[in-house]
Amino acid sequence: MTSEGSNTTAITLRTPVKDDGFRLHQLVAECPPLDPNSIYCNLLQCSHFAETGVAAEKDGDLVGFISGYIPPQQPETMFVWQVAVHEKGRGQGLAKRMLKEIVGRDACKNVTHMETTITEDNEASWALFRSFARDMGAELTYHEHFEKETHFGGKHDSEFLLRIGPFTKPA
């Protein structure tokens, strides 16, 4: 668990617990344009996938969350499912701190790469992952992965698979 001060109150990073599931659902709803998942899915993210997720709290409120997992076929890769930062936690580098928190955990000891999918117009996510790649001294590559018509039936923009790595974690 890490904590870093801001102008008012510190934001604490911790491993999620299942009691965060409903709070995560509410956080995502307050962070458009994030795609909401079911509450049940959020409960699984906070329990089954807790070791590869991170919750950020400020004054008792959930102000940030990253959900992710290590794909069974790619044990060297951390896949970031979703990054949510409430306006109360923005402007402090919180999302990048959360990414570094996850890859620094024992559960990610063999992780040398990070992947995520991002729509072309999500400038905040592109900036976050480019900055993370720079900090980690790693290459960033991407290509279209889930196509709007083929995979989303025209109801969602295409998603690009972004891959960062290889990287080594600080000692």
Residue 147 to residue 169: CA distance in whole angstroms = 33
What are the tens digits of pLDDT across the range 55-111? 999 999 999 999 999 999 999 999 999 999 999 999 899 999 999 999 999 999 999
**Does residue 3 register a pLDDT over 80?**
no
- Residue 2 CA to residue 4 CA, distance in Å, equals 7
Which is nearest to 128 in space by CA: 97, 152, 103, 158?
97
Domain 12-164 matching CATH 3.40.630.30: the answer reads: yes
The answer to whether the CB of 112 falls within 8 A of the CB of 153 is no
* Domain ranges across the chain: 12-164
Tell me the per-residue pLDDT of 112-151, one tens digit each, with 9 for 90 and over: 999 999 999 999 999 999 999 999 999 999 998 888 787 7
